[in-house]
Amino acid sequence: MLSARVARPASDYPYFQAQTPIGLAHRGGAGYEPNVGRENTAAAFEEAVAMGYRYLETDVHATSDGRLVAFHDAVLDRVTDGVGSLAELPWSRVSRARTPAGDAVPLMDELLERFPTTRFNIDVKAPGAVAPLAEVVRRHGAIDRVCVGSFSDERLRAARRLLGPRLATSAGPAGVAGMRLLPGVLSRLLHSPAQALQIPVQHLLGRRPITLVTPALLRAAHATGKHVHVWTIDDADEMHRLLDLGVDGIVSDRIEVLRDVLAERGTPLTDD
């Protein structure tokens, strides 16, 4: 018998109730030609949605005055003409930053309003973003169309406390490399409150690459009702290999490649 800590299966959550495998547009599809230099912007997400994507992956930070923005880096410098730390700047300053194509940094409020039927996989990048995320999700009644992940187990626990058991989440990083090395760690991950494992194909342990996505892992995850999503995959042959293994989702920057692979396999992005 499974322990009481085992989460309800992914199939119980509206977020996961779609045809699998699913395609997730990473930062809106950062490697797709029209989106280059426009990652995590409303324009990038618009391109993905127009292509048929129903799942968008994004990252969130909070500004110094608590506004939740869709942005990957902790600072504005790499992808905009702004400078400085998001956590130390008010929204009035962040809102003036522009990408080379002229895009503003979007608020998560804006994205949930602009794409009212789209599902968002949200990576919480900073501790200060957890409470604003909970407020935004509640304000938009969006709990059934978000899945929250993080490289911080503490942030994940906080998000679950604030939003309750209806919130879909992916597992945190604790013991990820151990999934292949330590059966006890694998057991804890599979018995975690999360509905999904979102992992790379390999993880470097020191200088040694450890393969995480294996038939054994997929069998164990599926036996506990969890999805396995793999990031960030841009090569068509690798997409086919992973789909042949039975992964439930692929996260990609090259959204046009993933679209074509899924269509070729008879599992298109949309079933209409």
CA-CA distance, 106 to 89, in Å (whole number)?
Answer: 15
Q: Give the active site residue among 72, 191, 203, 222.
A: 72
CA-CA distance, 168 to 195, in Å (whole number)?
Answer: 6
> What is the identity of the amino acid at 219?
R
Distance of CA 244 to the CA centre of its chain: 22
CA-CA distance, 140 to 262, in Å (whole number)?
Answer: 31
> What is the identity of the amino acid at 55?
Y
CA-CA distance, 176 to 102, in Å (whole number)?
Answer: 38
Condensed to tens digits (0 to 9), the pLDDT of residues 106-147 reads 999 999 999 999 999 999 999 999 999 999 999 999 999 999
Active site residue 229: no
Q: Give the active site residue among 26, 61, 227, 229.
A: 26
| Short-list 117, 165, 232, CA closest to 5 | 165
Active site residue 26: yes
What pLDDT is stored for residue 265 in this prediction?
A: 96
Condensed to tens digits (0 to 9), the pLDDT of residues 12-41 reads 999 999 989 999 999 999 999 999 999 999
Helix, strand or coil for residue 186?
helix
Condensed to tens digits (0 to 9), the pLDDT of residues 41-95 reads 999 999 999 999 999 999 999 999 999 999 999 999 999 999 999 999 999 999 9
What pLDDT is stored for residue 172 in this prediction?
A: 79
CA-CA distance, 59 to 44, in Å (whole number)?
Answer: 13
Helix, strand or coil for residue 243?
helix
- What are residue 168's DSSP bridge partners? 147
What are the Cα distances from residue 143, in Å, to 31, 179, 220?
A: 28, 29, 27
